[in-house]
Amino acid sequence: MMLFALFSCNRNGDKADAYGNFESQEIIISAETGGKILELNLEKGTELTAGSVVGIIDTVPLVLEKNVLIAQKQAIHSRSENILAEIKVLQEQKNTILIEKERIEKLLSDDAATSKQLDDVIGQLNIIEQSINSIRSKNSNVFSEINVIDRQIERINDRISRCYIKSPADGTVLEKYAEPGELIGLGKSLFKLADLNQMKLTAYIDGSQLSMFKIGEQVNVYIDDENSDLLKYTGKIIWVSDNAEFTPKIIQTKKERVNLVYAMEVLVKNDGRLKIGMPGEIRLNPLTE
């Protein structure tokens, strides 16, 4: 939890352990499909929640394509119904032949029928069975076609869902790159989002300080206020680099810029005062009030 306090102090006699600038975790949201933007209900500073729909890209072409697939599926279903009707007719014929077969078998046991009559009935029965199996095979192919259509409809539904522009996370809109009415392509940047509730202070320390800063440790973070005093926050170290680098030019004097330093990141809860690019100081020990 962030601790906030206002200090009046003499800064000349108390040097910070590290200096840096505040950053935010920024996300650029891009179009997941191409088309005409119908709505994009956001501006700079708009606060969004994860999953909220902020705009829509024209879905009419995809809906028309989906309707064609639905019509094809209905036509295939009609073929399946006709096939099932054929099977039903053949099944009734089979039942009739089975009754005839039983009658001839009884007559044959009484020497009232011939073996040829029984063979003829069995032959008819085999033909009916083959016809039924053949038609069932056609029906199986029909179901395969329906399955393919269903997968195509699922793909269209996925593309339609991607036409709805959603915020991937909680955050504040920093930039807006597109407007309603624009025709955009896949991957076009729409807006930039950042979570400003927590800010990241990227600071630099030299090798002699490296052992003083540990991941997970809390440190005191200070920023200037309008009265040339310092505002204090409590931050948490979330990363310390394993590799040394030359000091960034924005840090300290030309002489100090040639020194090798290690980057570190401190997470600080924002009360609304912290801004992107604002300088900050890190001190392991708090200032004397």
pLDDT value at position 32?
Answer: 96
Give the pLDDT band (50/70/90) at residue 168: very high
pLDDT per position as a tens digit, 236-281: 999 999 888 876 655 554 445 557 889 999 999 999 999 999 999 9
Give the pLDDT band (50/70/90) at residue 3: very low
- Across 24-116, the runs of DSSP E, i.e. the strands, are 26-30, 35-40, 47-48, 53-57
Residues in Cβ contact with 157 at an 8 Å cutoff, skipping those fewer than 6 apart: 66
pLDDT value at position 248?
Answer: 66
pLDDT per position as a tens digit, 177-202: 999 999 999 999 999 999 999 999 99
Q: How far is 83 from 132, CA to CA, in rounded Å?
A: 10
pLDDT per position as a tens digit, 71-117: 999 988 888 777 787 888 888 888 888 888 888 888 878 777 788 88
Closest CA to 55 of 26, 89, 32, 22: 32
Walk me through the domains of the chain, giving residue ranges and CATH numbers.
5-24+196-283 (2.40.30.170), 27-58+168-193 (2.40.50.100), 60-161 (1.10.287)
pLDDT value at position 287?
Answer: 58
Can you give the pTM of this predicted structure? 0.67
Q: How far is 138 from 158, CA to CA, in rounded Å?
A: 31
